[in-house]
Amino acid sequence: MFEMRSVPIFGSALVLCALSLALVPASAADDEAAAPARLAPPSSDLKDFAGYYRPDYLKPLVKSAVGTSGPIQTVDHQMPPFTPKASAEFNYRLSKEQAGMPVMDTTPQAGLPSACLVGFLSPVLVIANRQQMFFIFESGAAPIWRIHLDRDHPKKLAPSTNGDSVGHWEGNTLVVDTRGFNTSGHLDLVGTPFSRDLHTVTRISKINGGHQLEFLITVNDPENFTQPFTTRYTAAWRPDERLMENEIDAPPPGAPPGDPP
Amino acid sequence: MNSLRLTGRRVPRTCSRAAWLLSSWLCGVTLAQNPPDLNGVWQLSSPVPALMKTADGQEPALNEHAQAIYSQHRAAYQAGDRSFDAAANGCGDPGMPRIMMMSDRFEIVQDADRVVTLFARGNRFRVVELKRSLDPVDLFYFGNPNGHWDHSELVVESSDFRESSFIDAAGMPHSDAMTLTERYRLSKGGKELIDQITVSDPKTFKTPWTVIMRYRKLPSHTELLPADQQVNCAPPTPKGSSQGGG
């Protein structure tokens, strides 16, 4: 009796299971960005970005190091509109990268956030207080992206490694203006160059019900690009992540003395 | 009658106890919901001596093996030789608790879920989770910190430290068995931050010991690390590299 009753119940369960599998959207099932279902959901506040994310992989346009999204690419998946000089520089660096001698091994200056979003694909923590929002990337020589929310750029802007970033809200999008770099460097880990005149506008929004952050970065640097262009990268909500330590053990020769106690 | 005098009115002792418990609970709930605001840029109120002293002015009681190492390092330090100390030039990792004893600025950013300390030294950061417990996955210079609010104090318990850093500039060692208990609290109307650090490391010290650090809050909008003081700790560009164009 038990077995006779259990069969239809088991069969119903199978049907339900099959139905539920069939009803799962293919995009969600295949989406690497989707966080495991057991994880805490993101805040429903679309202006609350706080928490951990992991940059999503984007298929590189050229052969690139494994585990990276390669060089920066435009929102419509094209190479940036290089000036001839920048093109030559990029191609030289790309050849070094593909020969196993990436320039990032010797030239550390990578721009935030693009280099961290496309290059390392390692976790990022977002935390904010009343005055500032921080994107803290696990990897990178200068991994802290500080966005001032309560002031404009200083009139006398002292150039710095990561430039000066100020943000304001347009609806639920944080619009971040960054300028004032103190050196030339790379927009990615392959070697897309930027100059001290680099100016970026980054529009950051929660998408996909808050399960992803979208970064639309408009890059303007006439020395290296014939016109401004926009990139698009995303990062997935990952409350199970944490930031590991980024070791810098080897001091550079000739570095200024520190200030130990 | 078993009672206490409170504000001039005689009340039953049981009532006063209940009122005290209720007020304590309410106070705890309020503090948990509105913990002290540690946000800001902080700096040591006064320099810390190169040789570590406990809160009561004593040298931490090292065991024999650790004392031998410390004596060797201290002799080198006093002779001006810092070669044993990777953190001496501002780039190597000083680790905990030493980085809290340095004169460099640090900035605290907090929200309901975590407290992050951003250090001017080397762009380092330390994330203290308040609502989840981090599993020990590796040994770190900053250890594996977990925190919670105890009324008005932030309590941070850390373990799993890499043993290659030192506790002071003179090379006082510690082991991977070190655990730290830090109790952060505000004083002077929020203008001072006090960190009471208790160090326990049975492989290195005969007994746990405590040191108390005091920091002053710097004015709002103080830069953590002014641009002209930034130190690039990444590898230098060798001659013949691609930097500057092909």
Q: Is the pLDDT of residue A87 over 60?
A: yes
Q: Report the b/e string of A60-76 with b at 16+ CB within 10 A.
A: beeebbeebbbbbbeee
Domain assignment present for A18? no
- Phi-psi category of residue B131: left, alpha or beta, with phi > 0 → left and psi -120 to 50 → alpha: alpha
Taken in order of first residue, the domains within chain B and their CATH numbers are 40-221 (2.40.128.20)
Euclidean distance between CA atoms A189 and A150, whole angstroms: 32
Q: Which domain holds residue A137?
A: 51-237
- ipTM for the predicted complex comes to 0.81
Per-residue model confidence as pLDDT tens digits over B88-142: 877 788 999 999 999 999 999 999 999 999 999 888 899 999 998 888 888 899 9
Q: What is the pTM of this model?
A: 0.81
Looking at the partner chain, which of A85, A182, A260 has a beta carbon nearest the beta carbon of B227?
A182
Amino acid occupying residue A124: V
Domain assignment present for A165? yes
The count of other CB atoms within 10 Å of the CB of residue A239 is: 16
Residue B32, pLDDT score = 56
Q: A101: pLDDT confidence band, cut at 50, 70 and 90?
A: confident
Q: Is the pLDDT of residue A257 over 70?
A: no
Mutating which of B232, B237, B239 best tests the A interface, going by the most A Cβ atoms within 10 A? B232
Stretch 83-102 of chain B: residues touching chain A, C-beta under 8 Å: 85-94, 98, 101-102
Would you call B168 an interface residue with chain A, using a CB distance cutoff of 8 Å? yes
Token digits of residue A89: 């520089």
Contact residues on chain A for B130, CB-CB shorter than 8 A: none
Residue B30, pLDDT score = 53
Question: CB contacts < 8 Å between A and B, how many?
Answer: 166
Euclidean distance between CA atoms B200 and B182, whole angstroms: 11
Residue B21, pLDDT score = 55
Euclidean distance between CA atoms B141 and B146, whole angstroms: 15
Interchain pair B232, A88: CB under 8 A? no
Q: Is the pLDDT of residue A34 over 50?
A: no
Looking at the partner chain, which of A50, A103, A161 has a beta carbon nearest the beta carbon of B242?
A103
Domain assignment present for A128? yes
DSSP-derived 3-state class of residue A233 = strand
Looking at the partner chain, which of A89, A258, A261 has a beta carbon nearest the beta carbon of B89?
A258
Give strand pairing partners of B192. B187, B216
DSSP-derived 3-state class of residue B19 = helix
Q: What is the mean pLDDT of the segment spanning A74-97?
A: 93
Contact residues on chain A for B92, CB-CB shorter than 8 A: 248-249, 251
Q: A189: pLDDT confidence band, cut at 50, 70 and 90?
A: confident
Residue B233, pLDDT score = 59
Per-residue model confidence as pLDDT tens digits over A194-249: 999 999 999 999 999 999 999 999 999 999 999 999 999 999 999 999 998 876 54
User: A196 Cβ partners below 8 Å, 6+ apart?
Assistant: A159, A181, A182, A183, A184
As for how many domains chain A has, the answer is 1
